[in-house]
Structure 1
């Protein structure tokens, strides 16, 4: 099985790293935005949340993509909404994760640039973080297209 394009990592002057992924969709920007931001559509590939997301606000996110072998979801995590400019840009923080999604309308579809800033001293190397986001973004592509979710096995580092 082929997985989606690899993320590109760079080291920043402040000791952080940035991991960047690009995905293209033949779908309208509003559909991709909805799959990133509406709880029921987000749940298809990543997780669901409770609360009303708005800049400066928070939501409680339960990640469902990694339901354990016993079928149990993990505990919710608080996600801070730093920036939200529908349907083009969403920036959030949860735990040590700083995530940004930028959507651009292109002829015939939408381009997503997904970025994660990884703090200096983070306990996992970028090489172990990259496959997880690649898997989730391939799940996003599948969710937008209405296809089955990819299995984790081909992505495991």
Structure 2
């Protein structure tokens, strides 16, 4: 079991609660942008997409959630390469269909690129599983981008271990 840390916080954006977390990379902004937007780079840590982003949407498939996870339609709301990507998707969450808003913002200073990720949390109770999930995936991204073995990042080290942090952060 590895030592993991909850890094997300609750932040109000657009009149609703968002889970917000950051990661830093000693890499140029264009390289980090590629890691979050190019399908083959995403495949190393979270999933793949298909389609033509110029049409305003792609189909995204999680690769590390099991074999029966349905693909999701990601609508591209904003894309200002290499600084901002905002997406809306609908996906099943437990017994219901949920609309998620995701935002990725990148900024580079002194050879370090900071990625700030935000996802809407329509129900505070969702944070106890969504938060650990994103900590897991962004830790996988860090490992992938530094040339490490992403299989060393184990989901069971994140969930339910980090759930209490997110319950407290979102008041659920």
Name the TM-score class by shorter chain. Answer: 0.7 to 0.9
Q: 1:9, 1:126 within 8 Å by CA — same for their partners in 2?
A: no
Q: Secondary structure at 1:20's aligned position in 2? A: strand
1:106 aligns to 2:109 (yes or no) = yes
Aligned-residue Cα RMSD (Å) equals 1.9
Q: Which residue of 2 aligns with 1:60?
A: 59
Q: Which residue of 1 aligns with 2:75?
A: 80
Q: Which residue of 2 aligns with 1:25?
A: 25
1:97 Cα deviation from its structure 2 partner? 1.3
TM-score (ref. length: structure 1): 0.86
1:97 aligns to 2:100 (yes or no) = yes
Q: Which residue of 2 aligns with 1:133?
A: 134
1:17 Cα deviation from its structure 2 partner? 1.2
Q: CA, structure 1 residues 83+4, in 2 after alignment: closer, same or farther (shift >3 Å)?
A: farther
Q: Name stretches of at least 5 consecutive residues in structure 1 with no aligned partner.
A: none
1:117 aligns to 2:112 (yes or no) = no
Structure with greater helix share of residues:
2
TM-score (ref. length: structure 2): 0.79
1:75 Cα deviation from its structure 2 partner? 2.1
Q: CA, structure 1 residues 12+109, in 2 after alignment: closer, same or farther (shift >3 Å)?
A: closer
Q: CA, structure 1 residues 132+100, in 2 after alignment: closer, same or farther (shift >3 Å)?
A: same
Q: Distance in 2 between matches of 1:26 and 1:12?
A: 28
Q: Distance in 2 between matches of 1:13 and 1:29?
A: 26
